[in-house]
Structure 1
Amino acid sequence: MTSATTPALTPTDALDEIAFLLERDLASPYKTKAFRTALATIEPLGDDKVAAGVADGSLKRRKGIGSTTWTVIEQAVSGQVPDYLADLRDKIGGPVTEDGTELRAQLKGDLHSHTLWSDGTTDLASMARTAQRLGHDYLVASDHSPSLRVANGLSTERLEQQLTELDALNEGFDDFRMLSGIEVDILEDGSLDQSDAVLDRLDVVVASVHSKLRMPSGEMTKRMLAAIRHPHINVLGHCTGRLVQGGRGTRPQSTFDAAAVFAACAENDVAVEINSRPERQDPPDDLIQIALDAGCLFSIDSDAHAPGQLGLLDLGAARADALGVPVERIVTTWPLDRLLEWSGA
């Protein structure tokens, strides 16, 4: 029985929490899609219509409701914590790690996330709703730029459409803001995969290398330095491009003159991203130390491609805390007005 001080778990809450936990655990998108689809199906109906649909069985026949999600909805309507959710809470509930929790509590936002506009799994509103639930004050939609075709990178025209959607979405918020942004590719010659006119309109620009990761060190250094010196860059994303675990296999880190690259970041007020994804753990610890010594700012980001992956910030915070990154040099601990003043928005 639900206590007088604990609100009942609604079917939408149950489906959302299941999807969140699966996504944070980096489960297959095909596994989480059923719960996100069911959530999108029942959310517009409201609790009363959902309960009525469970009572007469009509909800079970709706497109988007499968046998597992039906059971979750039915149990939630009856006042139970659905068995599926209870099992997930036992297995993977709670913080991803118990380390760095004090620093994690000081993070106010996330500058790197992806949506259906490129290679993410959900829309802007779903990402915003989860970010709010996690206590964020802001989240940057930083979908990919045009040259990354495998990730459905945004053309200028599609980015314009996304900006219109963001404006409409933000009208519904009081104490949260979905910021405009991009993860722009650093091209082989160090130029950026989007025009200056477009970049100038965005709140935050993350720049990352996604191609030719095995370039000789000297060439990669020149490439990265050219990008870092671009006036619109705010964050250098996953700087080595390495993969250390996970379903995509492993990939060695790119080589470059780290001292020169991080000195340029410090000189140009570009934050070095501490990418929270467990398969990246980028930069490696030794490079974070070089960036610290260079006087760099840092941005702890999730690089989330699904709402639940926003919870991976726990891992980035734990790494930053263990390596002694000062809180005042982490831009994602800054309030929104200070962040936007820094980013030049």
Structure 2
Amino acid sequence: MSTTTTAIAALNRAVYYLDRGFEPAAKAKAFTRAAEVAAGMDDDDLERRAEAGTLTDLDGIGPSTASVIADAVLDRPPAYLTKLEQRTRLRVSAGATVFEACRSDLHSHSTWSDGGAPIRTMAMTARALGRTHLALTDHSPRLTIAHGLTPERLAEQLIEVAALNEELAPFRILTGCEVDILADGTLDLPDDVLAGLDLVVASAHSKLSMPERPMTERLVRAVANPHVDVLGHCTGRKLVGRGRPPSTFDAELVFAACAQFGTAVEVNCRPERQDPPDELLDLALEWGCFVSVDSDAHAPGQLEWVAHGYERLGERGVDPDRILTTWDLDTLLDWCAATG
């Protein structure tokens, strides 16, 4: 491996840890920018600057990124990376046993919509983490801010997924979409398009403060759709920054509908979501709903966030048989086909 390649790999590792630790996006962008600068240099120049301590003279390389490059180039112990790895490591205690049963992640994004990595990178990371399958659920067209997929673009994506599945077998990328629940409970992709996917996550992303009754009707209509397999981040709450309060709806009715129509309730593991809240998660479990522990990852390091959800379910003693993401591929696909 060349010196430049070694440096880029170290910088990319830093980005992975930063994403895993939910660190500010600006930090990860700084390391990505440094990797771009390093890619434009030859090995000799990079080594000379590392030895002379002049990497920071280059536009786009600061003290932290320079230290990572220098450690990699000069074959020194990776001090910054070691501290970053330890600080962002996710630990599971109460959920350790059920976490060991994790086989998949049914909510992830790629650069086809608002994700930060190509499909192949997301899939290979999931495989390296021990997953046997990963659902690719980029956004649907209603979410224009996230560059949601039209039916035409989704069809193009399916071609890429098919090729990658041949390359990465036996690992499997499930074809899917995070389809938008419109204000009246309909979905923003037609039924014939959804019918051609392995798995569909339905989520509300707009008008989250609508009154309780119409929000309840909205969610019930969505989970009753035969093509919907998972109800995504059901309250839409945000816990960081300015935050966002959870939507108000009759959770008894919504979870009763999920149980009746065979739609799983997502345990969304993004640190700023942790959705549903504890009391609603308990209610979904009381209703006998299946659950899906999903990272909602938009970058490779975020795929590790499922640990948060397994910890929550471990604390509640949930049987792995109720968790879609512990099922083997054939069982999951059969369940999706039967409920759809």
TM over 0.5: yes
Give the CA deviation at 1:52: 6.4
| Residues 284-315 of structure 1: CA deviation (Å, up to 9, x unaligned) | 11111221121110000011111111111111
Match of 2:162 among 152, 156, 167: 167
The residue aligned with 1:217 is 212
Gaps of 5+ in 1: 1-8
Compute the TM-score of the two structures, normalised by the length of structure 1: 0.86
| Residues 198-255 of structure 1: CA deviation (Å, up to 9, x unaligned) | 1111111000111111121111111111111111000000111111x223x2211111
Q: Distance in 2 between matches of 1:89 and 1:281?
A: 23
Mark the CA change 1:251 to 1:237 in structure 2 (over 3 Å): closer, same or farther.
same
Q: Distance in 2 between matches of 1:299 and 1:313?
A: 10
Equivalent residues of 1:208, 1:239 under 8 A apart: yes
Match of 1:191 among 174, 186, 189: 186
Compute the TM-score of the two structures, normalised by the length of structure 2: 0.87
Residue 24, structure 1, aligned to residue 20, structure 2: yes
Q: Distance in 2 between matches of 1:168 and 1:39?
A: 28
The residue aligned with 1:306 is 299
Spell out the pairing of 1:251-330 with structure 2 (5 A cutoff).
251-330=244-323
The residue aligned with 1:15 is 11
Equivalent residues of 1:276, 1:301 under 8 A apart: yes
Mark the CA change 1:10 to 1:174 in structure 2 (over 3 Å): closer, same or farther.
farther
The residue aligned with 1:6 is none
Q: Distance in 2 between matches of 1:331 and 1:177?
A: 15
Higher deviation after alignment, 14-23 or 142-151: 14-23
Give the CA deviation at 1:329: 0.2
Q: Distance in 2 between matches of 1:104 and 1:36?
A: 31
Mark the CA change 1:40 to 1:173 in structure 2 (over 3 Å): closer, same or farther.
farther
Please tell me the residue identity of whatever aligns with 1:334. W
Give the CA deviation at 1:268: 1.2
Equivalent residues of 1:125, 1:169 under 8 A apart: yes
Spell out the pairing of 1:177-256 with structure 2 (5 A cutoff).
177-243=172-238, 245-247=239-241, 249-256=242-249
Q: CA RMSD in A?
A: 2.7
Size of the aligned set, in residue pairs, is: 328
Please tell me the residue identity of whatever aligns with 2:25. P
Match of 1:108 among 85, 91, 103: 103
Please tell me the residue identity of whatever aligns with 1:289. D
Higher deviation after alignment, 168-177 or 258-267: 168-177
Mark the CA change 1:14 to 1:99 in structure 2 (over 3 Å): closer, same or farther.
farther
Q: Distance in 1 between matches of 2:311 and 2:172?
A: 25
Gaps of 5+ in 2: none
Residue 343, structure 1, aligned to residue 339, structure 2: no
Higher deviation after alignment, 210-219 or 96-105: 96-105
Give the CA deviation at 1:64: 10
Equivalent residues of 1:96, 1:312 under 8 A apart: no
Mark the CA change 1:269 to 1:39 in structure 2 (over 3 Å): closer, same or farther.
farther
